[in-house]
A and B are shown apart, each in its own frame.
Chain A
Amino acid sequence: MSQRAAGGSGSILARFRLRERIRDRDQAVYGILIIAAVLFPLVTIYATDGTALVSQATRAGYFVLLAIGLNVVVGFAGLLDLGYAAFFAIGAYTYALLASPQLASSPAHHAVHLPFWLMLFVAMFVAAAAGAILGFPTLRLRGDYLAIVTLGFGEIVPQLFYNFDQWTGGINAVGIIDQPVLPAWIQGPWSGDGPVQIVRSFNFGGDPVAFYVLICILIAAAVILVSNLYRSRLGRAWMAIREDEVAAAAMGINTVTTKLLAFGIGASFSGFAGAYYAADVSLVSPDSFLFIVSITVLVMVVLGGMGNISGVIVGALVLYYVVFYLIPGLPENVTNLANSIGLSSETTHSLADATQHLNYIIYGAILVAMMLLRPQGLLPSRIREQELKHAAVQEEEAAVEMEHAT
Chain B
Amino acid sequence: MSQQPAPADNILELTDLTKRFGGLVAVDNVSLNIKRGEVFALIGPNGAGKTTLFNNVTGLFQPTSGRVVFDGRDITGFKPHQVARWGIARTFQNIRLFDYMTCLDNVRVGRHVRMKAKVWDSLLKLPRERREEERVTEEAMEFLRFVGIAKHANQYARNLAYGQQRRLEIARALATEPKLLLLDEPAAGFTPQEKVELMQLVKKILTRGITVFLIEHDMKVVMGISERIVVLDHGEKIAEGPPDEVRKDVRVIEAYLGKSA
- Consider the complex of A and B and state whether they touch directly, i.e. have CB atoms less than 8 Å apart: yes
Binding site for B on A (CB under 8 A): 8-9, 12, 15-16, 225, 228-229, 231-237, 239-240, 243-244, 246-255, 261, 265, 382, 386, 389-390, 393-394, 397-398, 400-401
Count of chain B residues with Cβ under 8 Å from any Cβ of A? 49
- Classify the secondary structure of B's interface with A: helix
Q: Is the CB of B138 within 8 A of A12?
A: yes
Q: Is the CB of B99 within 8 A of A236?
A: no
Query: Which A residues touch B154, using CB under 8 A?
Result: 386, 389-390, 393
Give the number of A-B contacts (CB < 8 Å): 130
7 contacts between A and B (CB under 8 A): A8-B138, A9-B138, A232-B117, A232-B125, A254-B79, A386-B156, A401-B151
Contact of B98 among A15, A16, A247, A265 (CB under 8 A): A247
Query: Which B residues touch A12, using CB under 8 A?
Result: 134, 137-138, 141
Stretch of B34-42, B62-70, B103-111, B249-257 contacting A (4+ beta carbons < 8 Å):
B103-111
In Å, the complex CA distance between A278 and B30 comes to 63
Query: Which B residues touch A239, using CB under 8 A?
Result: 98, 100-101, 105, 109
Q: Which 5 A-B pairs have the closest CB atoms?
A: A252-B113, A232-B122, A252-B84, A397-B151, A243-B98
Whole-angstrom distance from the CB of A302 to the nearest CB of chain B? 16
In Å, the complex CA distance between A254 and B123 comes to 19
Of A8, A240, A248, most buried by chain B (CB within 10 Å of CB) is: A240
* Interface: B90 (CB within 8 A): yes
Q: Is the CB of A261 within 8 A of B92?
A: no
Query: Which A residues touch B117, using CB under 8 A?
Result: 232-234
Q: Is the CB of B101 within 8 A of A251?
A: no
Query: Which A residues touch B119, using CB under 8 A?
Result: 229, 234, 261, 265
Q: Is the CB of B151 within 8 A of A398?
A: yes
Q: Is the CB of B99 within 8 A of A243?
A: yes
Contacts known (A250-B89, A386-B156); A229 close to B109, Cβ less than 8 A: no
Q: Is the CB of B151 within 8 A of A244?
A: no
Query: Which A residues touch B141, using CB under 8 A?
Result: 8, 12
Q: Is the CB of B96 within 8 A of A386?
A: no
* Interface: B153 (CB within 8 A): yes
Query: Which B residues touch A235, using CB under 8 A?
Result: 122
Whole-angstrom distance from the CB of A184 to the nearest CB of chain B? 27
* Interface: B32 (CB within 8 A): no
Query: Which A residues touch B81, using CB under 8 A?
Result: 249, 251-255
* Interface: B172 (CB within 8 A): yes
Q: Is the CB of A247 within 8 A of B97?
A: yes
Query: Which A residues touch B105, using CB under 8 A?
Result: 236, 239
Q: Is the CB of A228 within 8 A of B123?
A: yes
- The residue in chain B whose Cβ has the minimal distance to the Cβ of A395 is B151
* Interface: B124 (CB within 8 A): yes
Of A233, A236, A252, most buried by chain B (CB within 10 Å of CB) is: A252
Q: Is the CB of A229 within 8 A of B172?
A: no
Q: Is the CB of B96 within 8 A of A244?
A: yes
List which B186-223 residues lie within 8 A (CB) of chain A: none
In Å, the complex CA distance between A12 and B133 comes to 11
* Interface: B18 (CB within 8 A): no
